[in-house]
């Protein structure tokens, strides 16, 4: 019997892999890695550039339900927050408390449907003020995921001092890396991803 593993990768431009000339991003790299290890997987990339946690919350179930409803092992990987921390008109697009509440709602809705969930932290951008706001949001997300019993992968801090990541985002648009940068973030996520797939959580 084939293990019907389906995973929705839901989030923003980092999930979509913007800037990657291979058009894989970290989500595609993880899926390819799993298939190469002998585990069939159906992966759905539901990353949308510039979306905030509020935007993602509004489309989450509508997009995931038809993709996961017949899976015997339905899963969701979430990654969001960088766009929430973007300043427009002198304030964040989404206030930190609202961002945390949106993530909590996403996790609640996934749990209610029996979807095992993994959350990847928002990575750092080049702008130091924006990076600091994202770091504060990252700390909020730690608590949200801990309360929900959902694994949270903290990529923000290691990437903030990663020379490959920082150089690649500097050479592009200040936010998105190229292939080598996506290799770096994938390497950080991969061990946690393997544990999550093995545990079912």
**Pairing of the two strands 87-88 and 91-92:** antiparallel
User: Which token pair is 141?
Assistant: 């997300």
Reported pTM = 0.97
Query: 53 lies in which domain range?
Result: 5-199
Q: Give residue-wise pLDDT tens across range 131-190.
A: 999 999 999 999 999 999 999 999 999 999 999 999 999 999 999 999 999 999 999 999
Sequence-ordered alpha helix ranges (H) in the chain:
13-16, 25-36, 53-68, 96-112, 128-148, 156-160, 163-171, 179-199
The H or E element spanning position 118 is strand 116-120
Contacts of 5 (CB under 8 A, 6+ apart): 39, 40, 41, 42, 71, 73, 75, 197
**Distance (Å, whole) CA 39 – CA 126:** 36
CATH number of 28's domain: 3.40.50.1110
pLDDT reading at 1 higher than 60:
no
Q: Give residue-wise pLDDT tens across range 29-71.
A: 999 999 999 999 999 999 999 999 999 999 999 999 999 999 9
**Structurally, how many domains does the chain consist of?**
1
């Amino acid at each position: 019997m084939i293990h019907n593993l389906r995973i929705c990768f839901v989030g923003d431009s980092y999930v979509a892999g913007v800037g990657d000339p291979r058009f894989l991003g970290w989500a595609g790299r993880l899926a390819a890695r799993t298939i190469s290890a002998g585990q069939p997987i159906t992966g759905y990339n539901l990353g949308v550039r510039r979306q905030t946690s509020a935007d993602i919350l509004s489309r989450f179930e509508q997009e995931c339900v038809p993709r996961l409803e017949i899976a015997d092992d339905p899963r969701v990987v979430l990654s969001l927050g960088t766009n929430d921390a973007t300043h427009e008109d002198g304030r964040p697009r989404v206030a930190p408390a609202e961002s945390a509440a949106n993530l909590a709602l996403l996790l609640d809705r996934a749990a209610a449907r029996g979807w095992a969930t993994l959350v990847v932290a928002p990575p750092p951008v080049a702008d130091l003020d924006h990076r600091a706001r994202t770091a504060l949001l990252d700390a909020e997300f730690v608590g949200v995921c801990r309360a929900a019993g959902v694994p949270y992968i903290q990529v923000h801090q290691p990437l903030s001092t990663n020379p490959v990541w920082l150089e690649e985002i500097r050479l592009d648009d200040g936010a998105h890396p190229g292939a080598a940068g996506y290799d770096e973030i994938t390497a950080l996520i991969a061990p946690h991803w393997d544990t999550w797939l093995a545990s079912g959580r």
